[in-house]
Amino acid sequence: MDKFNFILFCKSYIGDIAYLKILKESIDKYNIDNIPFCLVVPKNDLEKIKESLETGKEAYKLFFRTDEDILNLINEKAEQGWVPQQIIKLNAHKTNLANFYCIIAADCYFITNFRTSDFMYNETTPYTIMFREHCDNINAAPSKIIKDFYKRDGLCYGWAAMPTIFATKVLEDFSNFLESENLSISDILKISPYEFIWYGEFLWKTKPFEIIPTDKFLYSFWYESEYKEARRKYTVEDFIKMGYIGINMQSGWVKDKIYKPSKFIKLHKAIAAFKFGIYHRNDQKLFSPKWFELYLRKCLRDPIKILFSK
């Protein structure tokens, strides 16, 4: 079989089946370029996951591979926990399916039509997740540790957001580099357990293609508090207007499996607009008691109508 140029790639397991159903349904609905999708799961989970996800009506190519398919091809002894996931992602090219792999997590899903061009600048150049890293202690940050491993000068960058594009060329060269250093992926993950940073820094070191940076493709929630705040501000349509093609729910931090804006979002938006109006009028020295009364009525009238209308 000839390689595809670009595919979606997800490493998961049966415990994520509820998230996988949401992701798969969104791919079915919004994948207008019919980008192939490869799902890698433990052998023991394969049949149950196939039964739950595969409809036979997919307009795109759907591939299932097992963890064992990949791990048996490499000299790695995967421990339990996150390590097998990271090893498999850094060996996505071992599936021999594509030149570029869009690594996406099970807790992501799409909210609008997406195309290959959303992820690829051209046929040979992907968009690269790359942004200036800021944190409480940059000297102890994983990005600094891995940057120093490669002996790279300059600023620390973040390379992780869902999804991230991995190139077969980079993965192959990275594997050769580790072999030359007498290291395995398990070894480097003990230095710092962040596979996307290892990939990103090696990409920066080798630059086999032009690096076209982007921050992220999906709107992501890192903490439950961020999610609760967003629910008061944004609808799914707002995310689409911002240019996002999906949402990453971060199952380790956020309880909901899909984004649920507040039922009172119009009221929250009206209150926010009211506060901004107060600030703006006060800043312009246009504030008056009469204006305050009229503005308050305007902000409250529509939300109350909508909340109690049939």
> In this structure, are residues 295 and 277 in contact, taking their beta carbons and an 8 Å threshold?
yes
Helix (H) or strand (E) holding 103: strand 98-103
* Tokens (6 digits) for 62: 């759907």
Q: How far is CA 20 from the centre of its chain?
A: 14
Chain position carrying tokens 């040979």: 124
Please give the Cα distance from 123 to 5 (Å, whole number).
8
> In this structure, are residues 149 and 66 in contact, taking their beta carbons and an 8 Å threshold?
no
Dihedral sign (CA 275, 277, 280, 286)? negative
Please give the Cα distance from 206 to 214 (Å, whole number).
19
CATH of 4-248, one of 3.40.50.2000, 3.30.1540.10, 1.10.287.110, 3.90.550.10: 3.90.550.10
Please give the Cα distance from 16 to 268 (Å, whole number).
33
* Tokens (6 digits) for 301: 């009238």
Question: Along the 310 residues of the chain, how does pLDDT read in single tens digits?
Answer: 789 999 999 999 999 999 999 999 999 999 999 999 999 999 999 999 999 999 999 999 999 999 999 998 887 765 556 788 999 999 999 999 999 999 999 999 999 999 999 999 999 999 999 999 888 888 889 999 999 999 999 999 999 899 999 999 999 999 999 999 999 999 999 999 999 999 999 999 999 999 999 989 999 998 888 999 999 899 999 999 999 999 999 888 888 999 999 887 777 566 666 555 555 555 555 556 666 666 666 666 655 554 444 4
- Structural domain boundaries in the chain: 4-248, 265-308
**Residue 214 phi, psi (nearest 5):** -145, 160
Residue 301's pLDDT is 61
